[in-house]
Structure 1
Amino acid sequence: LETDGGVRVLLTGDMGVAGEGQGVQQEVQRLVENGNDIRADIMTISHHGSRSSSTLAFLVAVQAQAALVSAGRFNQWRHPRAAILARYQQQQIPVWNTIDNGQISVHSFPDRYQILTHRRNLSPVWYRQLFGALRSNG
């Protein structure tokens, strides 16, 4: 968990269900009992949104306001998985995906953060003309 001013960011890396599920409730309980707060404003979706990421218990514990995921268009593993994205949607956590958005930048300020994406905020119109409407791997 990294803090930049008032913005809390959880960088999950390749942590999968083994890291989240096995003992996550015990670890969360231990952290909370010791006065630690694992909530984050922004989190990364672990393991590129594979089937082994983002358990419901983990999402509930983190209570993120936004999630970022890095995956390549048309990747052979079809990351991020539709079921994982649906889990974030069910928890009302907006997801920014490099497949749809390209480069994702987070700018933090003392009282807020801003998420900018290359395709929506920075790229020329030619990208949308060449690749069509934004869509995920489904």
Structure 2
Amino acid sequence: MRKKNIRSCSVPQNITLVQRLQPLVGRTVTVFQPGHLWLTKTTGKLTNVSKSSFTVGTKVVAVKNAFFIVLNEQVKRTKPIELTAIADDMGELQGSLIQVGRDFVEFMQTPGRSVPTLFPLNKFTEVFWEDEEE
């Protein structure tokens, strides 16, 4: 088994993180960001989605930074691809792929609840999937 960058996993869907967030405006989500000693967790309504930032509750989050968002909806289907998502100052998450967008990956964390996690693909993050060598 070898690890491959998620961007080589499959053709990304023609959707950006901002486009994925737009239909979620007004819904309650939880965003995790790096903190001093542990992750900062903010739960609230998603508002003000723009190309550069979005707001959860009263917290403004820059799209270019390290973060991940946990949605409050059930996962309907995952692909048979296991992945590892790594973010600066946040550690790593394991999960099952839902979709790859142009600048984000959506997956269900394992172990965990059966809800989607949105993870940006930017200079602070990396996502790998396992590939069997031939």
Report the TM-score when normalising by structure 2: 0.24
Q: Which has the higher helix share?
A: 1
Q: Which has the higher strand share?
A: 2
- Structure exhibiting the larger radius of gyration computed from Cα positions: 1
Report the TM-score when normalising by structure 1: 0.24
